[in-house]
Structure 1
Amino acid sequence: MDDLAPLFARLGRSAFRSRFQLNAKEQAYLAERGLDTILAHGLRLHRPAVGAGPAAQ
């Protein structure tokens, strides 16, 4: 894949993306459990849906 730096630079300036911030409760949850744990939870939740392939009809 080509250099993604320009893409991420544009995303970093996105007004839409800048509106999403963790509130105090979410920040405390992250601090208590750690980023690695939160990312592992996200993978466990999304991997089955994303890796399942096309939906059966």
Structure 2
Amino acid sequence: MKLTPYGIFGSLVLGLASLGQWMGFSGSSINEVKNVPKSVRENPGVYRSHYSWLPRWFGGK
């Protein structure tokens, strides 16, 4: 099997990503929100802003 430059590069990227995942590296920072309203904590699925653009012709009772 012949190693091409793309194969070597892909293996290197995959290996570094795997190593970073194993060591706990994150590409973005994680922010913890402190003052969450009690109603949101008790029912985390109640707020679904990402569904606001969809039409209402599907699902539900």
TM-score by shorter chain over 0.5: no
Larger Rg over CA atoms: 2
Give 1 or 2: higher helix fraction.
1
TM-score w.r.t. the length of structure 2 is 0.29
